[in-house]
A = this chain, B = another copy of it.
Amino acid sequence: MDWLERITWTADGLVPVIAQEKDSGDVLMFAWMNREALARTAELGEAVYWSRSRNRLWHKGEESGHVQKVHSIRIDCDQDVVLLRITQLGHEPGIACHTGRHSCFFEELRTTADGQRAWQAVDPVLKDPATIYRS
Protein backbone atom coordinates (compact mmCIF):
# COMPACT_ATOMS: atom_id res chain seq x y z
CA MET A 1 0.00 0.00 0.00
CA ASP A 2 1.51 3.24 -1.21
CA TRP A 3 0.42 5.35 1.74
CA LEU A 4 2.45 3.14 4.09
CA GLU A 5 5.57 3.79 2.05
CA ARG A 6 5.30 7.53 2.54
CA ILE A 7 6.46 6.87 6.10
CA THR A 8 10.15 6.82 6.97
CA TRP A 9 10.37 3.57 8.92
CA THR A 10 13.22 2.90 11.33
CA ALA A 11 15.84 0.29 10.49
CA ASP A 12 13.64 -2.10 12.51
CA GLY A 13 10.63 -1.25 10.37
CA LEU A 14 8.89 0.74 13.09
CA VAL A 15 7.47 4.22 13.55
CA PRO A 16 6.82 6.00 16.87
CA VAL A 17 3.16 6.72 17.60
CA ILE A 18 1.58 9.30 19.90
CA ALA A 19 -1.98 8.60 21.07
CA GLN A 20 -3.91 11.73 21.94
CA GLU A 21 -7.42 11.76 23.40
CA LYS A 22 -9.67 13.52 20.90
CA ASP A 23 -12.01 15.29 23.29
CA SER A 24 -9.59 16.36 26.02
CA GLY A 25 -6.46 16.76 23.93
CA ASP A 26 -4.57 14.78 26.59
CA VAL A 27 -1.56 12.81 25.40
CA LEU A 28 -2.32 9.34 26.72
CA MET A 29 0.55 7.15 25.59
CA PHE A 30 3.43 6.58 23.22
CA ALA A 31 4.07 3.31 21.41
CA TRP A 32 5.36 1.86 18.15
CA MET A 33 3.84 0.42 14.98
CA ASN A 34 5.16 -1.57 12.07
CA ARG A 35 3.54 -1.52 8.62
CA GLU A 36 1.08 -4.27 9.50
CA ALA A 37 0.07 -2.55 12.75
CA LEU A 38 -0.60 0.74 10.98
CA ALA A 39 -2.48 -0.95 8.14
CA ARG A 40 -4.66 -2.83 10.65
CA THR A 41 -5.23 0.35 12.66
CA ALA A 42 -6.47 2.14 9.54
CA GLU A 43 -8.64 -0.84 8.52
CA LEU A 44 -10.08 -1.58 11.97
CA GLY A 45 -10.46 1.96 13.30
CA GLU A 46 -8.86 0.76 16.54
CA ALA A 47 -5.25 1.15 17.62
CA VAL A 48 -3.03 -1.83 16.87
CA TYR A 49 0.57 -1.35 17.98
CA TRP A 50 3.75 -3.38 17.70
CA SER A 51 4.86 -4.56 21.12
CA ARG A 52 8.65 -4.38 21.21
CA SER A 53 8.75 -6.28 24.50
CA ARG A 54 6.53 -9.13 23.29
CA ASN A 55 7.65 -8.89 19.67
CA ARG A 56 4.17 -9.19 18.26
CA LEU A 57 1.15 -7.16 17.19
CA TRP A 58 -0.71 -5.72 20.12
CA HIS A 59 -4.34 -4.79 19.65
CA LYS A 60 -4.57 -2.29 22.48
CA GLY A 61 -7.25 -3.45 24.90
CA GLU A 62 -7.03 -7.12 23.95
CA GLU A 63 -6.37 -7.97 27.62
CA SER A 64 -7.52 -4.89 29.51
CA GLY A 65 -10.57 -4.10 27.39
CA HIS A 66 -9.18 -0.58 27.10
CA VAL A 67 -9.55 -0.34 23.34
CA GLN A 68 -8.70 2.89 21.53
CA LYS A 69 -11.17 4.01 18.87
CA VAL A 70 -9.19 5.88 16.21
CA HIS A 71 -10.66 9.11 14.79
CA SER A 72 -7.70 10.29 12.74
CA ILE A 73 -4.18 9.30 11.76
CA ARG A 74 -1.61 11.99 11.03
CA ILE A 75 2.09 12.06 10.21
CA ASP A 76 4.57 14.82 10.87
CA CYS A 77 6.60 16.92 8.45
CA ASP A 78 9.42 14.34 8.39
CA GLN A 79 6.95 11.48 7.88
CA ASP A 80 8.60 9.61 10.73
CA VAL A 81 6.11 10.03 13.59
CA VAL A 82 2.40 9.12 13.71
CA LEU A 83 -0.22 10.98 15.74
CA LEU A 84 -3.50 9.22 16.52
CA ARG A 85 -6.55 11.02 17.80
CA ILE A 86 -8.48 8.46 19.78
CA THR A 87 -11.24 7.82 22.24
CA GLN A 88 -10.16 5.61 25.11
CA LEU A 89 -12.88 2.99 25.51
CA GLY A 90 -13.39 0.19 27.99
CA HIS A 91 -15.49 -0.80 30.98
CA GLU A 92 -14.03 2.25 32.66
CA PRO A 93 -13.48 4.68 29.79
CA GLY A 94 -10.49 6.98 29.81
CA ILE A 95 -7.87 4.63 31.24
CA ALA A 96 -4.95 4.27 28.84
CA CYS A 97 -2.15 3.35 31.24
CA HIS A 98 -1.41 -0.11 32.57
CA THR A 99 -1.01 1.50 36.00
CA GLY A 100 -4.75 2.25 35.96
CA ARG A 101 -4.25 5.95 35.27
CA HIS A 102 -5.82 8.11 32.56
CA SER A 103 -2.49 8.81 30.87
CA CYS A 104 0.92 7.19 30.91
CA PHE A 105 2.42 10.66 31.46
CA PHE A 106 1.63 10.95 35.15
CA GLU A 107 5.04 11.83 36.59
CA GLU A 108 6.06 15.48 36.52
CA LEU A 109 9.40 17.07 37.29
CA ARG A 110 9.02 19.19 40.43
CA THR A 111 11.36 21.06 42.72
CA THR A 112 11.32 19.63 46.23
CA ALA A 113 11.60 21.54 49.51
CA ASP A 114 15.38 21.14 49.55
CA GLY A 115 15.69 22.67 46.09
CA GLN A 116 16.32 19.39 44.30
CA ARG A 117 14.42 18.28 41.23
CA ALA A 118 12.44 15.04 41.43
CA TRP A 119 9.73 13.22 39.49
CA GLN A 120 6.39 13.12 41.26
CA ALA A 121 3.27 11.16 40.37
CA VAL A 122 0.65 13.89 39.98
CA ASP A 123 -2.32 11.99 38.52
CA PRO A 124 -4.53 9.53 40.43
CA VAL A 125 -4.89 5.79 39.89
CA LEU A 126 -8.46 5.37 38.63
CA LYS A 127 -8.52 1.57 38.76
CA ASP A 128 -6.39 -1.01 40.52
CA PRO A 129 -4.18 -2.59 37.81
CA ALA A 130 -4.70 -5.99 39.45
CA THR A 131 -8.37 -5.82 38.55
CA ILE A 132 -7.67 -4.62 34.99
CA TYR A 133 -5.56 -7.61 34.03
CA ARG A 134 -7.20 -10.31 36.15
CA SER A 135 -8.34 -13.00 33.77
Contact = CB atoms under 8 A, between A and B. Distances in A.
A132 interface: no
Given A27-B83, A109-B72, A119 B18 contact: no
A104 B75 CA distance: 8
A3 B119 contact: yes
Specify how many copies of this chain sit in the oligomer.
2
A18 B42 contact: no
Interface residues of A, number: 38
Contacts of A75: 105, 107, 109, 119
A1 interface: yes
A76 interface: yes
Nearest to A78: B104
Residue from A101, A104, A105, A116 whose CB has the most chain B CB atoms within 10 Å:
A105
18 contacts: A1-B117, A3-B109, A3-B117, A3-B118, A16-B16, A18-B18, A18-B30, A24-B25, A25-B25, A42-B109, A42-B117, A72-B109, A74-B109, A77-B99, A77-B101, A77-B104, A79-B107, A81-B105
